[in-house]
Amino acid sequence: MSRTRMLMLAVFALGLSVLVTALAYRMLQNRMNPAEDMTRIVVASHKVGLGARLAPEDLRMAPWPMAAPLQGSFQSLADAIGRGVIVPMTANEPVLESKLAPRDGGAGFTVAIPEGMRAVAVKVNDVIGVAGFVLPGTRVDVIASGSSEQSNGGTDTSKVILENVQVLSAGQNIDQDVNGKPQNVQVVTLLVTPEDAQKLALASVDGRLQLALRNPMDVKYTNPPAIRRAALYSSASGQQLPPGVADKQQNAKDRKPAVRKARQTPPPEPPPVVAAAPAPQPPPPPKKVNVELILGSQAKTLTFEEKQPEVKETKKEEKQ
């Protein structure tokens, strides 16, 4: 009897444990894979560069939740194949309409030029190209140097004609190097407006161009004044100093004439030194003469002062 009861309890415990395990597994599975509708969109299978034409091996389908729809995505590979890439994409990045050229727009370098912009090539060397660090995607200022017969008397002048210009390509490379290594190229293509394209064409004919690399986070336009060659060798340098330093130098210049005047004025002559008269020496004390007078039985002593004739002679000489 006891053996049968223990066997029944063992079977019940085994069935209960199986039931609890099944419920726990189902709860964990629901939590790891939430029950929501999924869709599939087109993503890049690997890194795709600027100007590339999408091929079937460049794309694949990937699941995407329907609760968070992605505007401009593709649900079919046929809709994206053959389109040109105008924005570089990385692996597993969704392919969007805004990252592709129009369907009949072709592919290659031309699709990277936005509407209303122009790509202008500039001949460079190691100096003009900032030692090869002018890479695609960087920002530069264009400095034109030359002389004009109609202004400044034909003197050489340097002026920043374009600011914050994007470098579209360096040589035949339109993708920036991951390691940021310098590149020895002969031509740099800049992305400019049609008006700026005319400035570049005119400056490259009448003068020399120089590229100045700038921080991509610095988008401020300064428009510095032109610098003439004579200003480099004059006493007043063409370099613009900070306001605080310029004020100090100006104050020092204002004080210099006063200091020079003070140095040129001769100092006043000191008054003549008058020797102090020697103090008069006191006259010697008069000599005294004691005379003893005896009258009968009485004796008296009389004292007389002897007159000094030398003192009188001195006084007479002073009067004369």
Among 215, 233, 251, which residue terminates a domain? Answer: 233
Q: What percent of the chain shows pLDDT beyond 90?
A: 13
The pLDDT value given to residue 259? 45
Q: Are residues 90 and 120 in the same domain?
A: no
The total number of structural domains in the chain stands at 2
Neighbour count for residue 162 (Cβ, 10 Å): 20
Asked if 211 and 128 touch (Cβ cutoff 8 Å), the reply is yes
Q: Is 20 left (phi over 0), alpha (psi -120 to 50) or beta?
A: alpha
**Residue 168, in any domain of the structure:** yes
| pLDDT level of residue 174 (50, 70, 90 thresholds) | low
pLDDT at 314 over 50: no
Q: Are residues 119 and 209 in the same domain?
A: yes
The pLDDT value given to residue 256? 53
pLDDT at 235 over 80: no
The pLDDT value given to residue 68? 84
| pLDDT level of residue 213 (50, 70, 90 thresholds) | confident
The pLDDT value given to residue 293? 73
The pLDDT value given to residue 308? 61
| pLDDT level of residue 96 (50, 70, 90 thresholds) | very high
pLDDT at 130 over 70: no
Domain that holds residue 48: 38-111
User: Residue 82: which CATH number?
Assistant: 3.90.1210.10
- What is each CA distance from 189 to 11, 50, 72, 147, in whole angstroms? 82, 15, 30, 25
3-state secondary structure 254-283: HHHHHHHHHHHCCCCCCCCCCCCCCCCCCC
pLDDT at 103 over 90: no
